[in-house]
């Protein structure tokens, strides 16, 4: 098959990404511009940046892998995000009112500096793993279109992402996401009926696939299905990148409206992606299950739509890598460098160190990419480390006045330690159950055994919403 059209579309996607990055880089004057886009993002931009940062290789490659193996039961993974969004709707406005830079900001203000540092370490581990499989997914796309060796393609993608993330920061992330989010939503929805027709129609799909691909759990046990759901839900609820975008909103109202748009977009798009992968798996032989969606796009769609869908997937992988590389860099610069190492650093020095940290973390993520062949497995590991270590203490900030500093520190430490140990030992039971169980138990038991926190620690997070939904800047 002639790849010319695919090459042209991918070239156009790269040109747009580079153009927007250069434009936004020229507007970066200080730390707030770089980290939070000047706190000026309207709700319609936030909707697409939230949607784009959430739906990356985890949905496009891990989701495709799950759909290839389990059929529609692969929806258990994105369903975790849908459950998490119900909680997020109650948090968004209050998070914007707090108007800081990072999740560890929340944790230090509610608990203490130790909680800040421990959460930062957990975020760096989890987010560089997530970044690593974006690089791997991007390498798969280059292999599919150009025949490039997957590892070589991974290095090319990593270099591109590192450079343009270091250039413009959050402004680049948010406005690129608006373009990419629109492209992927439109192309996936247009492609679905075309791919179904190529598969021979619904009756043919159901005849060719195993019957369990259309059941609630497929070949999974209920605990395996919930093992897909829980890590996804916990990552979303405590997601550092999500809170950072709420902090970037121009008002509390914009943050809240963005969540409603995000809920609709996530339900529609993730269901469409799993359905697309199921249709493709019914009539195509996929050597590498994680490539189900892009291979189905290339071999099952006409070039005019297949090229745009693959271009959208490629752009989504770049965008998500950008988001998850940028977020831990923000933590290290704001929560460690400026907080403890050099509190008096000037704006120019801070920007330089920020960009160097982006490069260092990108290289660290690239090293990790060699250790995970299954993107689904890597995604669940990263989600669990974050969800077990960080999310319980973050939720307690907004929902439990009795949570104490000792409880939060014990929760963060145990959540991360149990996840790492469980995966290292290779136990059959999903790590999310022991890790989250230990984390929540530590938070509750240690908090109840500790003296109650002073009112000044929890009161700012439980005050009524600002009048008119606006926040003082």
3 state DSSP class of 333: helix
Q: What average pLDDT does the segment 403-427 reach?
A: 94
d(CA 203, CA 261): 34
Task: Show the tokens assigned to 465.
Answer: 């919403």
Please answer whether residues 117 and 465 qualify as being in contact, where contact means their C-beta atoms are separated by less than 8 angstroms: no
Phi, psi of 249, deg, nearest 5: -65, 150
CA 2 to chain centre: 34
The fold of the 4-377 domain, in CATH, is Sodium/glucose cotransporter (1.20.1730)
Question: How many CA atoms lie less than 13 Å away from 139 in the CB half-sphere?
Answer: 21
Report the distance separating Cα 113 and Cα 22, nearest Å. Answer: 36
Instruction: Place 472 in a pLDDT band, splitting at 50, 70 and 90.
Output: very low
Domain boundaries, the chain: 4-377
Instruction: Report the SS3 class of residue 32.
Output: helix
Tens-place pLDDT, residues 214-236: 999 999 999 999 999 999 898 88
Say if residue 471's pLDDT is above 80: no
Q: What is the pLDDT of residue 246?
A: 66
Q: Which two tokens stand for residue 99?
A: 């108007």
C-alpha–C-alpha distance, residues 394 and 104, integer Å: 9
Q: How far is CA 272 from the centre of its chain?
A: 18
Position 239 confidence tier, pLDDT thresholds 50, 70, 90: confident
Mean of all residue pLDDT scores within the chain: 84
195 CB-contact burial (10 Å; exposed 0-12 / middle 13-18 / buried 19+): buried
Of 44-53, 342-351, 380-389, 444-453, the range with the lowest mean pLDDT is: 44-53
Kindly indicate the confidence band of residue 446, based on its pLDDT and cuts at 50, 70 and 90: very high
How high is the pLDDT of residue 176? Answer: 63
What are the counts of helices (DSSP H) followed by strands (DSSP E) for the chain?
23, 0
| Res. 288: pLDDT tops 50 | yes
Phi and psi of 342, rounded to 5°? Answer: -150, 70
Predicted local confidence at residue 24, as pLDDT: 60
Q: Are 292 and 92 in contact (CB under 8 A)?
A: no
Predicted local distance difference test score (pLDDT) of residue 41: 64
Angle at 420 between CA 423 and CA 139, to 5 degrees: 70
Overall average pLDDT of the 297-318 stretch: 89
188 to 97, 223, 234, 266: CA distances (angstroms): 35, 31, 27, 13
96-138, pLDDT tens digit by residue? Answer: 666 555 788 889 989 999 999 999 999 999 999 999 999 999 9
351-367 pLDDT tens trace: 788 889 999 999 999 99
* CA–CA gap between residue 14 and residue 48 (Å, rounded): 19
Q: pLDDT at residue 436 above 90? A: yes
Q: What is the pLDDT of residues 65-97, one digit of tens each?
A: 999 999 999 999 999 988 888 777 777 666 666
CA distances from 342 to 31, 35, 334, 346 (A): 14, 17, 10, 9
CA separation (Å) from 147 to 47, 99, 153, 298, 333? 35, 46, 9, 13, 38
Question: For position 13, what pLDDT does the model report?
Answer: 79
> Is the separation of the CB atoms in 85 and 259 below 8 Å?
yes
Would you state the pLDDT for residue 467? 41
pLDDT bracket for residue 26 (50, 70, 90): low
How far apart CA 315 and CA 321 sit, in angstroms, is 10
Residue 2 has pLDDT above 70, yes or no: no
Least confident of 33-37, 282-286, 421-425: 33-37
Average pLDDT value for residue range 151-164: 90
Cα 431–chain centre separation: 19
Average pLDDT over residues 145-163: 91
pTM of full prediction above 0.75: yes
Angle of helix 252-281 relative to helix 43-54, nearest 10 degrees, comes to 40
């Amino acid at each position: 098959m002639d790849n010319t059209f695919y090459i042209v579309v991918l070239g156009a996607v790269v040109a747009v990404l580079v153009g927007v990055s250069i434009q936004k880089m020229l507007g970066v004057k200080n730390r707030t511009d770089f980290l939070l886009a000047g706190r000026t993002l309207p709700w319609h931009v936030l909707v697409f940046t939230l949607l784009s940062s959430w739906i990356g290789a985890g949905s496009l490659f891990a989701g495709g892998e799950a759909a290839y193996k389990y059929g529609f039961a692969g929806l258990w993974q994105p369903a975790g995000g849908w459950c998490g969004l119900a909680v997020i709707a109650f948090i968004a406005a209050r998070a914007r009112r707090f108007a800081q830079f990072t999740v560890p900001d929340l944790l230090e203000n509610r608990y203490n500096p130790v909680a800040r540092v421990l959460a930062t370490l957990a975020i760096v581990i989890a987010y560089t793993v997530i970044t690593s499989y974006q690089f791997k997914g991007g390498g798969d796309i280059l292999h599919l279109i150009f025949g490039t060796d997957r590892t070589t393609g991974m290095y090319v993608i990593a270099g591109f992402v590192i450079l343009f993330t270091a250039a413009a920061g959050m402004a680049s992330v948010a406005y690129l996401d608006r373009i990419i989010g629109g492209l992927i939503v439109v192309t996936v929805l247009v492609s679905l009926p075309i791919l179904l027709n190529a598969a021979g129609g619904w009756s043919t799909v159901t005849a060719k696939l195993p019957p369990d691909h259309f059941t609630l759990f497929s070949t999974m046990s209920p605990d395996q299905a919930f093992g897909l759901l829980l890590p996804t839900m916990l990552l979303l609820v405590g997601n550092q990148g999500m809170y950072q975008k709420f902090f970037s909103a121009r008002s509390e109202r914009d943050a809240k409206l963005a969540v409603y748009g995000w809920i609709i977009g996530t339900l529609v798009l993730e269901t469409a992606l799993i359905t697309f992968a199921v249709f493709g798996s019914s009539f195509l032989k996929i050597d590498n299950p994680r490539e189900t969606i892009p291979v189905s796009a290339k071999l099952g769609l006409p070039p005019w739509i297949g090229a745009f869908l693959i271009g959208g997937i490629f752009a989504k992988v770049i965008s998500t890598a950008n988001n998850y590389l940028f977020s831990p860099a923000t933590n290290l610069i704001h929560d460690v460098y400026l907080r403890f190492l050099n509190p008096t650093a000037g704006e120019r020095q801070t920007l330089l160190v920020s960009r160097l940290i982006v490069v260092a973390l990108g290289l660290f993520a690239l090293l990790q990419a060699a250790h995970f062949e299954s993107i689904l497995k890597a995604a669940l590991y990263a989600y669990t480390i974050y969800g077990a270590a960080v999310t319980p203490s973050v939720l307690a900030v907004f929902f439990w006045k009795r949570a104490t500093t000792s409880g939060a520190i014990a929760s963060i430490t145990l959540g991360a330690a149990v996840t790492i140990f469980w995966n290292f030992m290779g136990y059959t039971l999903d790590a999310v159950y022991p890790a989250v169980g230990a984390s929540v138990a530590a938070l509750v038991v240690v908090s109840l055994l500790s003296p109650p926190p002073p009112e000044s620690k929890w009161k700012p997070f439980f005050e009524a919403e600002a009048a008119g939904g606006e926040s003082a800047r």
